[in-house]
Structure formats: structure tokens, C-alpha cells
């Protein structure tokens, strides 16, 4: 169940749009924040609040990659592997992180601390290679820098 | 008008015609995949690309309209190679498991690949695979998403036509697949229209799974015998076993759509419970007999009754063909010289007469497409989404792209409410009062123009408060319904047969129609029936007061209720019942059963040994709809052909043959040889059928034509005694019980089909959300519904949009005999609902 | 030439006196009497195993894991010019076939079959092969209506056997007809 605050927040969001269903995306962010990922229950609740059918929420949630459909660790590491970052060695960054965390891409560490995933362009090509951990950008990455970042996160 | 050149051929078409349609009419074939004529346009598959001279890029012909002077090439080398490449892209992720796939042989992708596709593919990559095994999506649908080509036809038909909105396209890009919410078991209409429109084998029918290839099936185009919509369907069988029902895009008013009943309600045809020989009661039990013995027994019974001057009556089902109903009427009136005949056993005979007059049925047929080409549509007296699902689909589809105000007046909430501009939730059996309220508002606003309105006197006696309290509807809503009508140029009023169940003051409909016509509106009246040939039954004169073609009888006979009353007094000597289960349908089951026990000689003709048949002296085995020829007249007044396709099971015979044999047994001059011959006689008797040619009735049938433009006015319309339950609820019995057909069932026949039983086999009780909250019950909980004389334990369904204080129990189920709640002559019964925690189920007499 | 002249043929006379033609003829007889025989002692002792390309009685095959290859697609039935094949598919979740679709009925009327092999060509899973059994005479019509179970049973000549040889055989007769049982271990070329 969504908390009362979350329900109120979604209800407030609907007021911002001419059409109630336009609030689907921000509402899903609320769900993701509440549950840690977009749960089946959460989608049903959003559907209920917005007066839509659950499948219509499901369509939106699966279309966008920023909604996690599975539980993620405390820190969700998203490494950009688009063209600029790739040219500057993003693949090595991914390999290094994978080795360092002991998980493959799309996996979570057993202690539920880190989830490693690769994403398309995050719009920070000027400072490639880069990654996003939760809501923060980490740019101009090197192995040493990553080591430091990871230490800071523990 | 625009003149375009397609492949050098010049044609002139309407402005805005799509290139695809223009090319088709010019005789060129453009392959399509995601395009569907009656769905919104998507243009995602790009198979229909054409070259427009002067434009660099190819254009999808399914969304590009023609322009004057345009030159289109559909067969240029560029188009051909692009088309083949697009098909190759569709195939890139399509598993080539055609030998296993059920769609093989009728797959659109197979067809266009064979005709236009590449012969070789450069794609060698591994194909996308969502799952290894097909998964079950609903009782009728099984899905293999790997085969999906993302045309979204299923998603579109589910949302736009059916209105269920349970399918969606998940994920994106090449990984898109159409499925339900988290691939869960669907809670939808189970109509199977998504299966019908799926061009590949992604959505498949469970009942037809691995049964046969389409080329091994032999089929016949016939008409659905469930509700009054009159959908065309194609029954297909292999080696005499009916395997599936499909609908064709170019046939009938339904255009490829069917409901769950039409599509899956066929397996009763091959049921092992079918009656296959006549039966005669010998020493208390029914014993199989030969036709000769049965007819001899009938002859003795009937001639004996005639000799003694006894009463003879007949009740025929409104699911028989016109020919059978006509012959039945003829047998009764001419051979047995009685007017005691009726069709169906559920309705008040007087209300029926008024209904036929106020609905102007004698004015001939109104096409549903004409009726829906209107500014305002009032649907009253029908749970149209449940009782006539395909009519509901048509209203939803046609109202989508234009401004049509739909007003729905009904005690129960329904799916169509979401398309409605206004819903009037009223108390059961208050349809007449709602109509009188609307008329009153119209009269008040336009009193000067409505001076000539006949029937304005009773209107004046209506007070706003009175109507509001009688109907339980907010006066403001009635006012806005009237406002919608007065601001429209055309109004269509669709009246369902619920107005006949708890008779309501139907004569006010005449006042409303008269008022609207005086105000210069174009008014169309559209009856909505829950039985396939209800209109035909009345038109064939199976009614105590109406001869064929609605002409009046010489003397009034008894209707069903009258016949049963006479029976209970022991006055009925012979009663001939065809296809009607009176014991289960007559609103007072106990009375019907007792009355039928006192009939001296009961003849029942049916496909199954129904409750009524079990009481008969002679039982005659009738044929199913694919085993006989004939015609049906649907609610619009459209005559459609029923075609014989299989021989009747066992010794069963087509019902008209049996009626003819019974007639010939009594009077040898009663001699009929074919359905076509009987139809010839119908044309003489009912003038509105004169222009209809039996043999040449094709896909869409033919509308009957009006014969006498005799407007009806209130003076000639008999008023109906309202049997509305009292407005102030009895604290002991706070709910009003209404009944009708469930979405998955129609009458009792559909209960004999295993697929529909899989969807729903036990009776449910539907209550409003508010009441559910008060009772603290939810969907799936058990409750006891208690009437004064009967109680039953049922599973709760919650209808979010229903009116408070209304309980709906479908009339279709054998485990709960809903007609036992009713008491003859008292209208709709009152009940109370008690939550229950146990699991017991079924009805019982208190 | 003098027509009364009689040319005495001593050579011919001697040939007649000493039965030279007869002896020459008998020599051939004796030669074949004692040389190696080339006729086949069919069906009592030997039988001919045809080449792989031979089109005899149909077989329904299984794959290496023993799963039925036939998926009941009905293409053989569709391709059959004499309409002697009947296939009815069904769903099977027990895993006896390579897919969840298997043949519920697969029947052939050999009296109508003309062994054209189009069904074999149409088969997408190579389940259907025309085998090398050709002794199809029988005493009852019923023997010619073969069902799936009978066709799934392995034939005497395995598919991978090269053929084109004569093998030792034994003639077996029973009430249904004649069966020649080959013994593939003893074989010879016929030429």
C-alpha cells in the first residue's frame, strides 16, 4: 500500500495537468520512491487513482528505462555506454565495476548495496566517461576515481 | 472529388479517400499488416508503402489521403523492394514455427510473405524470445508473444471497440510485445475479438487449439441465435463436429466482431445431452419412442381435446425461425382454432402490445447504422453491454469519431457508461417515469410549440418531486437529458426489453416521441432485444392479440400468464411448448410448475430435456440452428438467413418439420415441404416481408419495409399498469431484485456449452459498490440473498456504477432459480442480502 | 545355275550324325547347371533390399531422444494427390513430441496411395519418410488402413541402411498375408 502522503502527492500531481492521465509518469516516480522500484501493487494503485486500467500504467512503466521493474540495491550505478563514453573507455569502466563489485551488468550485489546497469546517453558527453549513482552524476571517470567513489559510498 | 492516377489508371474518388482504398477500388492490391478498416490508423508496419510521383520518400497508403492530380505507383521497383524489405523486418523476429502454429493456413503474414515477401533473408541473428511455452491469458485466449509482430490490432480493438482495455503493448522497440497487465489472467469480456484480428498466431483460441487446419474445415455463413443484434457468423466443422465460430469482416452488421456467446456458444450442438428421439410418458416416466408413436399420441391428445371442446394453447420460443413461428401460429389459429399463443414466457402480454405500438415496429426496419447516425442516443431499459454486447461495440465504435451524446438510463452500471455523456441511474422498472420526466421538461420549455401534443394532459399531472422520488434519479439529470435532446437535430431512442419485465408506463414513450417530432427533431426508435428472433416472433403473429404483420386478431386469446392461470385451474387440455423452458423462465417458478402439472396433455419440443420438458406427456427433439433452414428477423428488422449445414443429431428434426408433422397428424391438408415455401406464405401474410427474397439473402440480410404509415397516438396506445416496487424501502427487504442475461450467457442454451461454462458456470449476484461497502463484502465473497419465499447463496460481483439498493441475479443459471424469487402479479421482488463466510452454494426453498 | 544340281553337304551331315548342335546346347545347360546362380530365391530364402531412394511403405520417425517428430501440421494431408492421408492434431503436454502439438490421428489408406512421395517432400520436420517395405499384399482391407502407432514402429530395414543388395530372408505367412523377414547380416550384390 502506498502511504497516505504518497497518495496525496499523486492526487496533487493530477491537478497540475489538464488531463488526469497525464500524471502517470510523475506518479510512477512516486511509486518508485515509495517501494524502491515500480511494483505491481504500485501500478494498480496508480491506475486506481488516475482512473486508468492497470495495463495502461504497465505500458508506460515498461516503456521507460528509468523505472526499475525489479528491486535495486541501495546504490544504483548506471554507466553510460553510448558513443562518446564508449570511445573514452566506458566498457573498461563497466568491466572494472563488474570486477570490483563481483556482479555482472543488471545484477545486484548479495548485500543489496549496489546494482550495476548500463544506460544510453545521459547527456554528459563533454565529461565522458561518466556514470550516475542514484541521482548524482560522476564524471571524467578513471579506475582510481571509481575506487574512491565506491569507498565513499560504503 | 479528386482524380488520381494509380499505376497509370485514372480514377475519381471522394476527397479524403485513402490511397489504399482508392487503389483497391481501382483493382490494385496493396498488402497491409497493421491496418484494420474499423480501427484507428497506426501505420507502423510500413508494408503498405507506395510511391507518389514527385515525392522522394515512400508513403504509407493506409493513412495518406489522395490529392487531386496525384500519381501513385504501387508496383514500381522501389515499392516492391521496400515492401519486401518491410516484410523481411517483420519476419526478422518472427519464429518460423508455422507447422505448429494454429494460424498456419490463414495467417496474414504467411500470405503476404508468399505474395510479396523476400525469398531469402539476410537476418541470421537469434530471434527475440519472450518465453518458451505458450501461456494462458484467459479461459478462451492462449498467447505466444514470440510470434507477435506489434501491429497492436488486439490492443486497439480491445480499447476502441470492445471497451475492455485489458491488453497493452509492453516494453519498447524490437522487444515490444502485446499482452495483459503483468501477463495476468484476463478479467475481460472473453469475446475473442483480439484473436480474430490478430494477423499472426500470437493470440489464439484455446478451444480451437490444435484442432484442425483451416483448409480442412467446412463452414456456413449463418446468423447468431443468442441476442437480438443478429450478428453474422461462420460456423466451421470438421467431419461433422463443430470446431469453431468465426466472423468475417465483410459479412453482416457486426463486421468481424462477436461476443463471447456468439463466438464460443456453439458446443451445445454436439452435446451428448441433446434429445435424439421423441419420448412418450409411459407409467410416469418418459420413454424413447418413434416419431410415428409420438405423432399418434399427439393426434389422440389433440383430437380428443377438440372433440370435448377443450382449451388448447401454445407457447413458442423467440429463438425459433420466422418460418417455424409462422407455422406454429398457423397451426394454432387455423388447425386448432385457438388464439392462446405467445412467444416467450417472461413478459407481460399487454406491455408487449404497447411496446410494439410505441416502438412503431410496424413501420419496418431501421438499420442500426442509420439509428446511430444521430446527435443524441438514449439507451433505456437494457443492460446493453451485457445483453447485446455487439450492439454495445457498435455504439462505442461509431460514437468515437464524432459528437454523439449518449444518455444511458439503467439501474445497473455497464461498460458503455464510460462512453456516455450522461447516465441516469434509476430505480428498477421506472423507465416509463424517466421518459415521462424527460417529456415533462421538454413540454415545460416548449409549451407553445407543443400545443398539439397528444397526451399532454397526463404529462401535466406529473410533478418534479413525484418523478424524482419514484425513479430515485436526480431531477437535474433528467433535465439535462432533456436538454441534450432539445439541442440535437436528431434523436435515437433505443429501448430494451427490460421495460417488459417489470412493466413500466411505456405509453409515455409515445408522448416523448411526439414532442420531439413536433419540435422538428428527427426521431428514430430502435428496439433492443435479448432473444434473437423476438421481433420476428411478434411479426409472425405469435402473440394472443396480433396476427402476422401486426394486424389485430378477431378475438383476444390468452398470453403466457393467462395460459398458466387457466392451467392452474385445470382448464388447459393441450399445451404445446416449443423451445421455451417455462418452469425456469416464468417470473414465479413455483406457480408455473404447479400450473403445468395440471395441464392435461403437455407437448414439449426442445433440444434438451429442460425442466418443462421433464413434465411433458410427449417430448419432441428439435434441431439446433446449424441443422435447419430459415430466417431470423433481428432487432433492427433485418431478415437474415439461417442455413442448414449439418444433419440433425439422431432422430431430431428441424422444428418446422415437426410443427408441419404435428399439423398434418391433426389435419392432413396442413402440408408444408420446405422453409422457402413457408417463407413464400409469410410474404402474403406479413406485407412488410413482401420484398424479401429468401434464396438471395446474403451477408447483410435485408431490412423489412414499412407497409402502412400509420402514426400511433396515445389514444390508441393501451396504457400499461406499472408494477414498480414501492419507493419507500421495506427495512426487512431493502433491495430490489432485477434479472436479465449475463454477459457470458443468454437464456439457458449457453449453459450447455462447455467453453462458456469454463468462463462462468455458477450464478453470481451483482451489487453496487456502495452496498458492498455497507455489507462489508467484496468480489468473490459469498452472500445469502433472501426473498420472501426463496433464498440462495451466491458469489458477489461488485458493479462500481450500479444504483444503490439494486441486486442483479442473472436468469441463466440452473443452480439458482432466480424466477423462484418472483411472485406472479407483484412485479419485481424485494430481497435482503446477508454476508456469509461459509462456502455452500445453491438455491433452496425456505 | 543348274537347278537339278544337288550340292552334297558333308559337314552338315556329320553335324547331324554326331548331334553337335544338341551337344553345344547341352553344354550351355551344363555350364549354367554348375556355374554360380544369379536368380534370387525370393521369397523363400532371399529378398531384395531396395536403394534408399525407394518409395515404399510410410514411416513416422522419432528423433534421437525418442520424441515424435510429427507435429500434426497436416501438410502431408494437404499435399496428398489421392487424399489418402488423414491427420488430426492435438495438444500434448507430456513431452512425447518435439512440440506441444502432436498428431492425435495419422492414418493412411494404402489402397489409394500411389507412393508419389509428395507427403514426404511436404513434411517440415522430416517425420514422414517413405520406407523400403514393399510387400504390401494382404488378405483384408483393414490391413491397408494404417494408423500412427503402426507407422511409428520401426521397419525391418533401417533408414540408414544403404540398400541395393540381396539379403537372406525367411518367408513367413499368417492369416493377414505374407511377410518376408530379411536378415541384413548376410548380404550380396546381385550382379
Model confidence at B708, pLDDT cuts 50, 70, 90, reads low
CATH of B353-528, one of 2.40.33.20, 3.40.50.720, 3.40.228.10, 3.30.70.100: 3.40.228.10
Contacts of A63 in chain B (CB under 8 A): 171-172
Q: Which fold has domain B124-269?
A: Alpha-Beta Plaits (3.30.70)
Fold adopted by B2-92: Ubiquitin-like (UB roll) (3.10.20)
Comparing alpha-carbon positions, the chain B residue that sits nearest to C79 is B215
pLDDT tens, position by position, B190-227: 999 999 999 999 999 999 999 999 999 999 999 999 99
| Nearest residue to C136 via CA among C117, C121, C155, C152 | C155
C90 touches chain B (CB under 8 A): yes
User: What residues of B are in contact with residue A59 (Cβ under 8 Å)?
Assistant: 168-170
B402-413 pLDDT, tens digit each: 889 999 999 999
Comparing C-alpha atoms, which of B635, B628, B601, B634 is closest to residue B615? B601
Cα distance between the two ends of chain C: 54
**Which among A40, A54, A59 has CB closest to B169?**
A59
Q: What's residue B439's pLDDT?
A: 93
Beta bridge pairs of residue C105: C88
Whether the pLDDT of residue B644 is over 50: the answer is yes
The closest alpha carbon to B632, from B87, B119, B46, B230, belongs to B230
Distance of CA B111 to the CA centre of its chain: 33
**B100/C101 CB distance under 8 A:** yes
pLDDT of residue B714 exceeding 50, the answer is no
B846 falls in which pLDDT band (50, 70, 90)?
very low
User: How far is it, in rounded angstroms, from Cα B307 to Cα A57?
Assistant: 74
Domains along the sequence of chain A with CATH: 4-63 (1.10.10.1590), 75-153 (3.40.30.10)
Asked if residue B259 lies in contact with residue B245, where contact means CB atoms within 8 angstroms, the answer is: no
Kindly tell me if the per-residue pLDDT of B669 is higher than 90.
yes
Question: A54 to chain B: which residues are within 8 Å by CB?
Answer: 181
Q: Is B180 on the interface with A (CB under 8 A)?
A: yes
pLDDT band at B839 (very low <50, low <70, confident <90, very high): very low
* Of residues B171, B172, B180, nearest to A55 (C-beta): B180
Distance CA A61, CA A68 (A): 8
Lowest mean pLDDT among A125-134, B156-165, B264-273, C172-181: C172-181
Mean pLDDT computed over A38-46: 93
The pLDDT confidence band at residue B78, using thresholds 50, 70 and 90, is very high
- Report the pLDDT value the prediction gives residue B345, as an integer from 0 to 100: 84
Q: In terms of CA atoms, which chain C residue is nearest residue B98?
A: C73
Residues of B in contact with C99 (CB under 8 A): 97, 100
Among the partner-chain residues B98, B133, B210, the one whose CB lies closest to the CB of C72 is B210
For residue A47, the chain B residue with the least C-alpha distance is B181
Note whether A120 contacts B: Cβ–Cβ < 8 A. no
- Phi, psi (deg, nearest 5) at residue C19: 55, 45
Q: Predicted confidence band at B827 (pLDDT cuts at 50, 70, 90)?
A: confident
Q: Tell me how far apart the alpha carbons of residues C119 and C110 are, in angstroms, rounded to a whole number.
A: 13
Report DSSP letters for chain A, one per residue. Answer: ---HHHHHHHHHHHHTSSSGGGGHHHHHHHHHHHHSS--HHHHHHHHHHHT--HHHHHHHHHH-TTS-SS---SEEEEEE-SHHHHHTTHHHHHHHHHHHHT--TT-B-TTS-EEEEEES--S-GGG-S-EEETTEEE-S--HHHHHHHHHHH-
Cell numbers at B644, concatenated = 442448414
B491: nearest Cα among B471, B509, B476, B507: B509
B185 touches chain A (CB under 8 A): no
Q: Is B169 on the interface with A (CB under 8 A)?
A: yes
Instruction: Give the one of B99, B134, B216 whose C-beta lies nearest to C71's C-beta.
Output: B99
CA distance A105 to chain B (A): 19
Query: Which whole-number Å values give the CA distances from B691 to B112, B679, B696, in the listed order?
Result: 42, 11, 11
Q: Which three cell numbers stand for residue B531?
A: 432473444
Q: Which chain C residue has the Cα nearest residue B214?
A: C74
**Interchain proximity B99–C78, CB inside 8 Å:** no
Chain B CB within 8 Å of residue A41 CB: no
B594 grid coordinates? 404447479
- At B710, the pLDDT band (50, 70, 90 cuts) reads low
The pLDDT score that the predictor gives to residue B726 is: 65
Task: Compute the distance between CA of residue A116 and CA of residue B834 in angstroms, rounded to an integer.
Answer: 55
Distances (CA, A) of C89 to B100, B107, B210, B263: 10, 18, 6, 22
- Domains for chain C: give ranges and CATH numbers: 37-52+161-191 (no CATH), 55-155 (3.30.70.3270)
The C-alpha atoms of residue A154 and residue B245 are separated, in whole angstroms, by 64
Tell me what pLDDT residue B837 has: 66
pLDDT at B844: 47
CATH 3.10.20.740 in chain B, residues?
2-92
Q: Residue A63's closest CA among B177, B494, B562? A: B177
Write out chain A residues lying below 8 Å of B166, CB-based.
Answer: 53, 55
Range(s) for CATH 3.40.50.740 in chain B?
279-344+533-691
CATH, range B279-344+533-691: 3.40.50.740
Q: Do C and A touch (≥3 CB pairs < 8 Å)?
A: no
Report the complex ipTM: 0.85
CATH class of the structural domain B735-845:
mainly beta
Neighbours of chain A (3+ CB pairs under 8 A): B
Distance from CA of A147 to the nearest CA of B (A): 35
Q: Which residues pair with B784 in a beta bridge?
A: B793, B834
What is the C-alpha to C-alpha distance for residues C83 and C85, in angstroms, rounded to an integer?
A: 6
Q: Is B542 on the interface with A (CB under 8 A)?
A: no
pLDDT attached to residue B205: 94
B774-B778-B779-B782 Cα dihedral, nearest 10 degrees = -90
The answer to whether the Cβ–Cβ distance between C75 and B99 falls below 8 Å is yes
Q: Is it the case that residue B842 has pLDDT exceeding 80? A: no
Across-strand partners of C109? Answer: C145
In the prediction, which pLDDT does B60 show?
Answer: 96
Cβ of B181 and A62 within 8 Å?
no
- The pLDDT score that the predictor gives to residue C3 is 59
Judging contacts by C-beta atoms under 8 Å, the chain C residues touching residue B209 are: 91
Q: B461-473 pLDDT, tens per residue?
A: 888 888 888 888 9
Query: Does residue B168 belong to the interface with chain A, where contact is any CB pair within 8 Å?
Result: yes
- pLDDT value at B22 more than 50: yes
Which of C70, C100, C102 should we substitute to test contact with B (largest number of B Cβ atoms within 10 Å)? C100
Q: For C86, name the nearest residue in chain B, comparing CA atoms only.
A: B216
Measure CB to CB from residue C73 to each of B104, B133, B134 and give the nearest one: B104
List chain C pLDDT tens, one digit each, 191 residues: 555 666 778 888 898 899 999 999 999 999 988 888 778 888 888 888 999 999 999 999 999 999 999 999 999 999 999 999 999 999 998 999 999 999 999 999 999 999 999 999 999 999 999 999 988 888 888 888 999 999 999 888 888 888 888 888 888 877 777 788 888 887 777 65
The DSSP code sequence of chain C is --TT-----HHHHHHHHTTHHHHHHHHHHHHHHHS---S--TTTTEEEEPPTT---SEEE-B-TTS-B------HHHHH-TT--EEEEEEE--SS-BSSSEEEEEEEEETTT-----HHHHH-TTS-EEE-S------SSGGGGEE-HHHHHSPPSS-TT----EEEEEEEEEETTEEEEEEEEEEEE---
Task: Give the gap in angstroms from C-alpha C95 to the nearest C-alpha of chain B.
Answer: 12
Cα-trace Rg, chain A: 18
Which pLDDT tens digit goes with each residue over B528-570? 999 999 999 999 999 999 999 888 887 788 999 999 999 999 9
| B614 C-beta neighbours (distance < 10 Å), count | 13
d(CA B627, CA B649): 8
Amino acid at each position: 500500500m502506498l502511504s497516505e502522503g504518497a497518495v496525496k502527492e499523486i492526487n496533487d500531481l493530477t491537478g497540475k495537468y489538464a488531463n488526469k492521465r497525464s500524471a502517470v509518469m510523475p506518479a510512477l516516480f512516486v511509486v518508485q520512491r515509495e517501494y524502491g522500484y515500480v511494483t505491481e501493487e504500485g501500478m494498480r494503485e496508480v491506475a486506481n487513482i488516475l482512473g486508468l486500467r492497470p495495463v495502461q500504467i504497465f505500458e508506460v512503466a515498461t516503456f521507460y528505462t528509468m523505472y526499475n521493474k525489479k528491486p535495486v540495491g541501495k546504490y544504483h550505478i548506471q554507466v553510460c555506454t553510448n558513443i562518446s563514453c564508449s570511445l573514452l573507455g566506458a566498457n573498461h569502466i563497466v568491466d572494472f565495476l563488474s570486477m570490483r563489485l563481483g556482479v555482472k551488468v543488471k545484477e545486484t550485489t548479495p548485500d543489496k548495496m549496489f546494482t550495476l546497469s548500463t544506460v544510453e546517453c545521459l547527456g554528459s558527453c563533454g565529461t565522458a566517461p561518466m556514470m550516475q549513482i542514484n541521482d548524482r552524476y560522476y564524471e571524467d571517470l578513471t579506475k582510481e576515481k571509481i575506487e574512491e567513489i565506491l569507498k565513499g559510498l560504503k | 472529388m479528386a482524380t488520381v492516377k494509380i499505376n497509370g489508371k485514372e480514377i475519381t474518388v471522394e476527397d479524403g479517400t485513402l490511397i489504399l482504398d482508392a487503389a483497391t477500388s481501382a483493382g490494385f492490391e496493396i498488402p497491409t499488416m497493421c491496418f484494420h478498416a474499423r480501427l484507428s490508423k497506426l501505420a507502423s508496419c510500413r508494408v503498405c508503402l507506395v510511391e507518389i510521383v514527385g515525392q522522394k520518400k515512400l508513403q504509407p497508403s493506409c493513412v495518406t489521403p489522395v490529392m487531386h492530380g496525384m500519381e501513385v505507383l504501387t508496383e514500381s521497383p522501389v515499392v516492391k523492394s521496400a515492401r519486401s524489405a518491410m516484410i523481411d523486418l517483420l519476419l526478422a523476429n518472427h519464429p518460423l514455427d508455422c507447422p505448429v502454429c494454429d494460424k498456419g493456413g490463414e495467417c496474414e503474414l504467411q500470405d503476404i510473405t508468399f505474395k510479396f515477401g523476400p525469398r531469402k533473408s539476410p537476418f541470421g541473428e537469434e530471434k527475440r524470445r519472450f518465453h518458451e511455452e505458450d501461456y494462458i491469458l484467459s479461459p478462451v485466449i492462449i498467447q505466444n508473444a514470440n510470434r507477435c509482430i506489434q501491429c497492436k490490432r488486439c490492443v486497439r480493438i480491445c480499447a476502441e471497440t470492445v471497451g475492455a482495455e485489458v491488453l497493452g503493448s509492453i516494453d519498447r522497440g524490437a522487444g515490444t510485445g502485446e499482452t495483459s497487465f503483468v501477463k495476468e489472467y484476463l478479467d475481460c469480456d472473453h469475446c475473442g475479438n483480439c484473436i480474430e484480428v490478430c494477423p499472426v498466431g500470437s493470440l489464439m483460441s484455446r478451444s480451437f487449439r490444435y484442432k484442425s487446419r483451416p483448409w480442412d474445415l467446412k463452414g456456413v455463413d449463418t446468423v447468431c441465435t443468442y441476442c437480438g443484434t443478429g450478428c453474422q457468423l461462420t460456423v466451421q466443422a470438421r467431419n461433422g463436429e463443430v470446431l469453431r465460430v468465426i466472423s468475417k469482416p465483410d459479412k453482416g452488421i457486426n463486421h468481424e466482431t462477436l461476443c463471447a456467446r456468439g463466438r464460443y456458444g456453439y458446443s451445445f450442438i454436439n452435446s451428448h445431452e441433446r434429445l435424439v428421439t421423441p419420448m412418450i410418458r409411459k407409467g410416469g416416466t418418459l420413454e424413447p419412442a418413434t416419431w410415428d408413436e409420438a405423432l399418434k399420441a399427439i393426434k389422440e391428445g389433440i383430437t380428443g381435446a377438440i372433440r370435448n371442446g377443450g382449451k388448447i394453447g401454445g407457447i413458442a420460443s423467440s429463438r425459433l425461425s420466422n418460418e417455424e413461428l409462422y407455422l406454429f401460429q398457423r397451426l394454432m389459429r387455423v388447425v386448432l382454432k385457438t388464439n392462446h399463443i405467445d412467444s416467450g414466457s417472461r413478459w407481460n402480454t399487454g406491455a408487449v402490445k404497447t411496446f410494439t405500438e410505441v416502438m412503431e415496429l410496424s413501420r419496418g426496419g431501421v438499420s442500426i447504422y442509420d439509428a446511430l447516425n444521430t446527435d443524441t442516443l438514449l439507451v433505456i431499459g437494457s443492460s446493453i453491454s451485457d445483453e447485446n454486447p455487439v450492439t454495445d461495440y457498435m455504439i462505442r465504435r461509431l460514437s468515437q469519431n464524432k459528437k454523439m451524446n449518449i444518455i444511458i438510463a439503467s439501474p445497473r452500471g455497464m461498460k458503455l457508461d464510460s462512453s456516455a455523456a450522461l447516465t441516469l441511474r434509476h430505480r428498477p422498472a421506472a423507465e416509463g417515469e424517466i421518459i415521462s420526466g424527460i417529456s415533462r421538461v421538454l413540454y415545460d420549455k416548449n409549451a407553445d410549440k407543443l400545443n398539439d401534443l397528444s397526451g399532454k394532459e397526463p404529462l401535466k399531472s406529473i410533478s418534479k418531486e413525484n418523478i424524482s422520488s419514484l425513479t430515485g434519479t436526480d431531477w437535474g439529470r433528467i433535465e439535462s437529458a432533456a436538454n441534450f435532446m432539445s439541442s440535437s437535430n436528431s434523436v435515437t431512442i433505443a429501448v430494451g426489453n427490460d421495460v417488459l419485465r417489470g412493466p413500466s408506463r411505456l405509453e409515455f414513450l409515445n408522448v416523448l416521441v411526439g414532442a420531439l417530432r413536433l419540435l422538428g427533431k428527427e426521431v428514430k426508435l430502435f428496439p433492443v432485444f435479448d432473444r434473437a428472433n423476438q421481433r420476428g416472433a411478434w411479426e409472425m403473429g405469435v402473440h394472443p392479440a396480433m396476427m402476422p404483420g401486426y394486424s389485430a386478431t378477431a378475438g383476444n386469446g390468452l398470453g403466457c400468464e393467462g395460459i398458466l392461470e387457466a392451467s392452474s385451474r385445470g382448464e388447459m387440455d393441450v399445451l404445446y411448448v416449443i423451445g421455451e423452458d417455462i418452469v425456469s423462465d416464468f417470473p414465479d417458478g413455483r406457480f408455473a410448475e404447479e400450473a403445468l402439472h395440471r395441464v392435461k396433455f403437455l407437448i414439449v419440443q426442445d433440444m434438451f430435456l429442460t425442466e418443462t420438458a421433464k413434465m411433458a406427456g410427449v417430448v419432441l427433439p428439435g434441431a439446433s440452428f446449424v441443422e435447419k433452414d430459415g430466417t431470423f428477423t433481428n432487432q433492427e428488422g433485418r431478415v437474415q438467413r439461417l442455413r442448414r449445414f449439418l444433419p440433425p443429431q439422431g432422430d431430431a428434426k428441424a422444428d418446422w418439420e415437426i410443427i408441419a408433422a404435428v399439423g398434418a397428424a391433426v389435419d392432413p391438408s396442413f402440408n408444408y415441404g420446405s422453409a422457402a415455401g413457408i417463407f413464400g406464405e409469410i410474404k402474403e401474410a406479413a406485407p412488410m416481408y413482401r420484398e424479401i427474397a429468401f434464396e438471395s439473402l446474403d451477408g447483410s440480410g435485408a431490412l423489412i419495409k414499412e407497409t402502412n404509415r400509420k402514426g400511433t397516438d396515445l389514444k390508441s396506445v393501451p396504457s400499461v399498469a406499472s408494477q414498480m416496487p414501492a419507493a419507500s424501502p421495506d427495512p426487512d427487504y431493502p433491495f430490489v431484485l432485477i434479472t436479465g442475461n449475463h454477459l457470458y450467457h443468454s437464456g439457458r442454451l449457453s449453459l450447455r456449452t462447455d467453453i462458456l461454462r469454463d468462463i462462468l458456470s455458477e450464478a453470481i449476484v451483482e451489487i453496487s459498490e456502495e452496498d458492498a461497502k455497507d455489507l462489508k463484502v467484496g468480489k468473490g465473497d459469498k452472500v445469502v440473498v433472501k426473498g420472501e419465499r426463496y433464498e440462495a447463496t451466491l458469489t458477489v460481483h461488485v458493479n462500481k456504477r450500479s444504483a444503490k439498493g439494486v441486486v442483479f441475479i442473472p436468469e441463466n443459471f440452473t443452480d439458482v432459480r432466480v424466477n423462484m424469487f418472483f411472485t406472479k402479479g407483484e412485479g419485481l421482488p424485494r430481497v435482503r442480502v446477508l454476508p456469509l463466510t461459509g462456502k455452500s452454494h445453491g438455491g433452496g426453498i425456505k | 545355275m543348274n537347278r537339278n544340281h544337288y550340292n552334297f553337304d558333308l559337314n552338315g551331315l556329320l553335324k547331324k550324325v554326331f548331334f553337335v548342335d544338341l551337344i553345344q546346347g547341352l553344354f550351355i545347360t551344363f555350364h549354367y547347371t554348375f556355374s554360380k546362380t544369379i536368380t534370387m530365391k525370393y521369397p523363400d530364402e532371399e529378398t531384395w533390399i531396395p536403394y534408399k531412394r525407394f518409395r515404399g511403405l510410410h514411416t513416422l520417425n522419432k528423433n534421437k531422444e525418442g520424441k515424435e517428430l510429427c507435429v500434426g501440421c497436416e501438410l502431408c494431408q494437404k499435399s496428398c494427390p489421392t487424399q489418402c492421408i488423414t491427420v488430426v492434431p492435438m495438444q500434448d503436454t507430456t513431452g512425447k513430441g518435439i512440440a506441444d502439438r502432436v498428431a492425435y490421428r495419422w492414418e493412411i489408406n494404402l489402397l489409394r496411395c500411389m507412393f508419389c512421395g509428395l507427403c514426404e517432400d511436404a513434411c517440415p520436420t522430416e517425420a514422414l519418410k517413405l520406407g523400403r517395405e514393399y510387400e504390401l499384399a494382404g488378405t483384408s482391407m483393414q490391413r491397408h488402413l494404417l494408423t500412427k502407432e503402426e507407422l511409428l514402429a520401426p521397419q525391418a530395414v533401417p533408414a540408414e541402411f544403404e540398400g541395393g543388395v540381396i539379403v537372406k530372408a525367411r518367408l513367413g505367412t499368417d492369416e493377414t498375408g505374407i511377410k518376408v523377414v530379411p536378415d541384413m547380416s548376410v548380404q550380396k550384390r546381385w550382379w
